Structure 1
């Protein structure tokens, strides 16, 4: 299994040319990045190839959620891209998560397997939405812990969760079970559509393994300075 970085810059940018230009202009070539649906569905595998050529670690954030056979076959293909981390939705169930891991192992072709994460509850989900729209019982944290345990039993290496649930997940699943936390905002930054957010320092104090930062870097007046400040806060508080 591959190692992971501590900070991933979310490249929620509309196309390959703008994404690569942004990284070059902001002196972020070589930084670990997250490629999500917006960019991957526009550029396809070529964006992964270009980023790997520039020595970026890559979290491919496609949140697969389908029947086990389909997810297994999709993961087999994604493994061949040699990304560092991929994910599925934990609500796809144990069998689907196990199939995803099998697909990754089959597609690695002798290389290190990408880290497999399972998304618990999106950081845009709050208690009201979960109860009134999704009709799921219990609290958000209870749901996240249940899904984390399910993910571990299915063979996932860790989960995507909010900072608020990190300690409880580590207690339930063990300290080596990875937590990757989006919704990271420096103090005073806009929340946008993130409901369960935290600062880099709060994330570090809660014991998360990696953070994902998007608009707080990509939409900053000086993205390079913002990136450096977040790294500094993560490393030294």
Structure 2
């Protein structure tokens, strides 16, 4: 993973998303397709954007019994995507099944998509995790436990807050990938996110990839916002290693 800036295409439909992409004049991007857009537009959107040269992070967070997840992962891998998510809360057998499905579904001679596990959503606070989800451990302990399970299951990394990256690199491994949403510019509001950082801070903390949505797609000039965020992300020094 070459430290990508991933643009979260959090739109209700393809037409709205494509209008945003017009600002980039055909520039290849790393795009995240989440549940809302994928459920509306389906595989055809993935195939069209791949044909235009974009990398695709298909963020549908698979979470079901192992056999179902294996079958679903096989189908997703056949779409030539670059990155797929599962929920670490599904357990090691489920994550192993996802990896097996991805390997089975990847077309011959193509690179196998990476699979990363969601630890705890960046909208989840420790109080919510303990009081509503019934997890007695601290947020940090839970994230590390999930990350270790993901590595044992053969996944390439996790989705986590950038604030949790240093401890994951220390306790799970320096090459274990960390994909970090919850990225905001200083002037932006946090909205429904709890554990947020700036692009510069994410790089300093050692994130391998950042996912940015509102700060780009809701900007008056999405391309200028993308370039500004990318400069912050690329120019910051990484303190992990």
Conservation of the 8 A alpha-carbon contact between 1:29 and 1:54:
no
Question: Residue 32 of structure 2: SS of its match in structure 1?
Answer: strand
The equivalent of 1:41 in structure 2 is 39
- 1:1-150 paired onto structure 2 within 5 Å: 3=1, 5-27=3-25, 29-110=27-108, 111-150=110-149
Deviation, structure 1 residue 21: 2.1
The equivalent of 1:179 in structure 2 is 178
1:170 correspondence with 2:164: no
Moved over 2 A (4+): 25-29
Deviation, structure 1 residue 25: 2.9
> Under a length normalisation based on structure 1, what TM-score does the superposition of the two structures give?
0.96
Deviation, structure 1 residue 140: 0.9
Conservation of the 8 A alpha-carbon contact between 2:180 and 2:210:
yes
Number of equivalenced pairs = 235
Residue deviations 1:104-160 (CA, integer Å, cap 9, x gap)? 010113221100100000000001101111111121111101100011111110000
Deviation, structure 1 residue 27: 3.4
> Under a length normalisation based on structure 2, what TM-score does the superposition of the two structures give?
0.95
Question: Residue 78 of structure 1: SS of its match in structure 2?
Answer: helix
In structure 1, how many angstroms separate the alpha carbons of the residues matched to 2:107 and 2:130? 44
Conservation of the 8 A alpha-carbon contact between 2:23 and 2:222:
no
